[in-house]
């Protein structure tokens, strides 16, 4: 099969590369673009470690062909840092509240939580758990992940209020 | 987990998509959200030379709320079904069912058209659409036709849709005001298909009952609905238990599935009754 000329915007930068249409988006990101934040946990659409933000949707990049993502805007965990390169609020809160142990699930968790807070800036604990149900963690028992996201919501809301 | 290679197409109208299907016959398939198809392709259980992506076809998008019926484009995602306020008001049963499908990431990608066209007995939308008495619009080389959801499913992965047809829109009659409804699903974990699921509507002297993943097609039972409409819950459950035909698999043996089916159906009926007015 011939390769296609793939173009997309990743973390605000236009990128391109050659890939067969059947290439999974996660492989294109990791191998062609060297963007290794999104991880491959299961490769079978179950664990959420590969979650990226694709045109404003949280998606499992192991279950998207690169051809489907042609021309789209992507954000990965690398794109969620502050402008000066320091940790973004969600990342900082995961650090502060021990929202990770081994860290394998964390890029997917943070990228998913980012979209969740965009859609629901004041989630209840139950809404956080429901909204994060597509991401599996084998270490933390989830308690501190939920805490980290709740703390990030509070911080982001306080920042927004201060700016107004 | 790399699928076999394919030629990729992204047409922007239905006619072009149909003509690619026509040109390549069973070598070609459409892809909607890809969240049933891509896993099958990765396992090499599905393999096609030509893949037609429907994402750029505007005629397959959007939700229209009329006074008698709602119309949903095939490419509307489960996430959109959940977040569309007009739809939740008109036919709240759809949101209740969609929230029980898969997980958030899958619901951003998975479409209603893909879910009903797929033909997998595990999918939740086919039974839901039978309960709601939906009609599916199909576009093919010979034009447009409509098939009732209750006539659409023939066997696992076999439906009334011809290979060269695309499912374009779904039309659902708006239930009368005061209709009670419930979607109840037993699953082993988040993101799992149903061990048993039931869709129930009761109101205006009628009732409709359908169940999922208890046979090689969804099961809508006329007799079960008639019994429930007459207030005979036991008669409804026994008619439904006579209509289902579960097989043993990793969700359990047949006796267990029948037991779970009856429990789930009774729960759905009780909730639908409590909501009817
Ligand atoms: C982890 C996981 C858990 C899931 N859990 C559930 C669950 O609990 N319940 C449930 O119902 N589903 C579940 N699903 C399936 C999910 O909802 C799918 O997205 C859905 O079944 C198919 O929709 P799609 O848009 O992804 O279709 P695709 O995968 O793109 O297509 C599915 C099939 O339908 C055909 N098709 C698609 N659109 C059309 C059209 N417009 N016209 C004609 N043919 C068409 C395709 O050719 C293909 O054969 C799960 C999926 C995953 C990955
Ligand atoms: S690697 Fe994609 S869901 Fe697990
Ligand atoms: S921190 Fe190890 S898997 Fe989540």
Q: How far are the Cα atoms of A109, B18, B54, B114, B164 from residue B142, in angstroms, in the given order?
A: 48, 10, 20, 22, 10
Give the model confidence (pLDDT) of B100-159 as tens digits: 999 999 999 999 999 999 999 999 999 999 999 999 999 999 999 999 999 999 999 999
B73: distance to nearest CA of chain A, Å? 19
Extents of the domains making up chain A: 4-79, 81-159
Tell me, what's the pLDDT at B244?
A: 98
A106-125 b/e (C-beta count within 10 Å ≥ 16 → b): bbbbbbbbbbbbeeeeebee
Q: Which residue in A has a C-alpha nearest to residue B83's C-alpha? A: A119
Tell me, what's the pLDDT at A138?
A: 97
Which CATH superfamily is A81-159 part of?
[2Fe-2S]-binding domain (1.10.150.120)
**Cβ atoms A61, A38 nearer than 8 A:** yes
Query: What is chain B's alpha carbon radius of gyration, rounded to the nearest angstrom?
Result: 18
User: What spacing in Å lies between the alpha carbon of A14 and ligand 3's midpoint?
Assistant: 31
- Cβ distance B6 to A1 less than 8 Å, yes or no, reads yes
- Tell me the pLDDT band of B83, cut-offs 50, 70 and 90: very high
User: What spacing in Å lies between the alpha carbon of A149 and ligand 2's midpoint?
Assistant: 21
Tell me, what's the pLDDT at A50?
A: 98
The reply to whether A3 touches chain B by the CB within 8 Å rule is: no
The minimal CB distance from A63 to the residues B8, B38, B53 is found for B38
Q: Are strands B158-159 and B50-53 parallel, antiparallel or unpaired?
A: unpaired
Asked if the model's pLDDT at residue A1 lies above 90, the reply is: no
Q: Which atom of ligand 1 is nearest to the CA of B103?
A: 3
Query: Looking at beta carbons, which residues of chain A come within 8 Å of B10?
Result: 67, 70
Give the model confidence (pLDDT) of A40-59 as tens digits: 999 999 999 999 999 999 99
ipTM: 0.97
Q: How far are the Cα atoms of A83, A136, B65 from residue A56, in angstroms, in the given order?
A: 20, 21, 25
Is CATH 3.40.50.300 the right assignment for the domain spanning A4-79?
no
- Cβ distance B5 to A21 less than 8 Å, yes or no, reads yes
Across chain B, what does the average pLDDT equal?
Answer: 97
DSSP annotation of A98 reads T
Give the model confidence (pLDDT) of B27-77 as tens digits: 999 999 999 999 999 999 999 999 999 999 999 999 999 999 999 999 999
Asked if the model's pLDDT at residue B239 lies above 80, the reply is: yes
The three-class DSSP label of residue B96 is: helix
User: What spacing in Å lies between the alpha carbon of A147 and ligand 3's midpoint?
Assistant: 15
Say yes or no: CB of residue A141 within 6 Å of ligand 3. Answer: no
- Tell me the pLDDT band of B204, cut-offs 50, 70 and 90: confident
Between CA A53 and CA A139 the distance in angstroms is 24
Tell me, what's the pLDDT at A19?
A: 97
Give the model confidence (pLDDT) of A146-160 as tens digits: 999 999 999 999 999
- Cβ distance B42 to A48 less than 8 Å, yes or no, reads no
User: Which of A100-104, A160-164, B219-223 has the lowest average pLDDT?
Assistant: A160-164
Strand partners for B167: B138
Secondary structure in 3-state letters for A110-158: HHHHHHHHHHCCCCCHHHHHHHCCCCCCCCCCCHHHHHHHHHHHHHHHH
Question: Average of pLDDT values for B184-188?
Answer: 97
How many inter-chain contacts (A to B, CB under 8 Å) are there? Answer: 81
* Burial (CB count <10 Å: 0-12, 13-18, 19+), residue B235: middle
Tell me, what's the pLDDT at B184?
A: 98
Question: Average of pLDDT values for A58-81?
Answer: 98
**Cβ atoms A23, A69 nearer than 8 A:** no
Between CA A26 and CA A36 the distance in angstroms is 9
Strand runs labelled E in chain B: 7-9, 28-31, 50-53, 63-65, 69-73, 135-140, 143-148, 153-155, 158-159, 166-173, 180-186, 196-203, 206-212, 219-220
Between CA A53 and CA A30 the distance in angstroms is 15
Number of C-alpha atoms within 13 angstroms, CB side, residue B13? 2
- For residue A51, which ligand has an atom nearest its CA? 2
Domains of chain B and any CATH numbers: 7-53 (3.30.43.10), 58-173 (3.30.465.10), 180-275 (3.30.390.50)
Sequence-distant (6+) residues with CB within 8 A of B124 are B97, B98, B100, B101, B115, B183, B185, B193, B194, B197, B212
User: What spacing in Å lies between the alpha carbon of A26 and ligand 2's midpoint?
Assistant: 9
- Tell me the pLDDT band of B1, cut-offs 50, 70 and 90: confident
**Cβ atoms A53, A111 nearer than 8 A:** yes
B3: distance to nearest CA of chain A, Å? 7
Give the model confidence (pLDDT) of B205-235 as tens digits: 999 999 999 999 999 999 999 999 999 999 9
Question: Average of pLDDT values for A20-48?
Answer: 97
Between CA B125 and CA B192 the distance in angstroms is 14
**Cβ atoms B117, B167 nearer than 8 A:** yes
The reply to whether A64 touches chain B by the CB within 8 Å rule is: yes
Q: Which atom of ligand 2 is nearest to the CA of A47?
A: 4
């Amino acid at each position: 099969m011939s390769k296609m000329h793939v173009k997309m915007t990743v973390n605000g930068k236009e990128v391109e590369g050659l890939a067969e249409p059947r290439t999974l988006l996660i492989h294109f990101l990791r191998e062609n673009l060297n963007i290794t934040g999104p991880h491959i946990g299961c490769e079978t659409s179950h664990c959420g470690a590969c979650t990226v933000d694709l045109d404003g949707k949280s998606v499992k990049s192991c279950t998207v062909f690169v051809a489907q993502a042609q021309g789209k805007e992507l954000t990965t965990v690398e794109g969620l840092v502050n402008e000066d390169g320091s940790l973004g609020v969600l990342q900082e809160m995961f650090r502060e509240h021990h929202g990770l142990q081994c860290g394998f699930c964390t890029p997917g968790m943070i990228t998913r939580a980012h979209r969740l807070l965009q859609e629901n800036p004041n989630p209840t604990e139950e809404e956080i758990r429901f909204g994060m149900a597509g991401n599996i963690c084998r270490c933390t028992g989830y308690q501190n992940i939920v805490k980290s996201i709740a703390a990030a919501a509070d911080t982001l809301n306080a920042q927004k209020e201060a700016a107004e | 987990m790399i699928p076999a290679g394919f030629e990729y197409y992204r047409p922007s109208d239905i006619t072009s998509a149909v003509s690619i299907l026509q040109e390549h016959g069973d070598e070609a398939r459409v892809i909607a959200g890809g969240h049933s198809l891509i896993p099958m392709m990765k396992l090499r259980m599905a393999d096609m030379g030509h893949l037609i992506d429907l994402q750029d076809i505007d005629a397959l998008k959007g939700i229209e709320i009329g006074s008698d019926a709602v119309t949903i484009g095939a490419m509307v995602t489960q996430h959109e079904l959940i977040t569309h306020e007009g739809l939740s008001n008109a036919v709240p049963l759809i949101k209740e069912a969609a929230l029980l499908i898969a997980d958030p990431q899958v619901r951003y990608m998975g479409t209603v058209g893909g879910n009903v066209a797929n033909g997998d007995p595990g999918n939740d939308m086919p039974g839901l659409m039978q309960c709601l008495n939906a009609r599916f619009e199909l576009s093919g080389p010979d034009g447009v036709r409509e098939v009732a959801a209750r006539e659409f499913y023939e066997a696992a992965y076999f439906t009334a849709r011809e290979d060269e047809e695309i499912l374009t829109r779904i039309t659902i009659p708006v239930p009368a005001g005061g209709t009670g409804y419930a979607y109840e699903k037993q699953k082993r974990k988040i993101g799992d298909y149903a061990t048993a699921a039931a869709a129930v509507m009761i109101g205006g002297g009628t009732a409709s009952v359908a169940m999922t993943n208890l046979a090689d097609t969804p099961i809508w039972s006329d007799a079960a609905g008639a019994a429930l409409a007459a207030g005979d819950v036991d008669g409804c459950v026994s008619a439904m238990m006579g209509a289902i035909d579960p097989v043993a698999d990793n969700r359990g043996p047949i006796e267990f599935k029948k037991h779970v089916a009856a429990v789930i159906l009774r729960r759905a009926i009780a909730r639908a009754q409590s909501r009817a007015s």
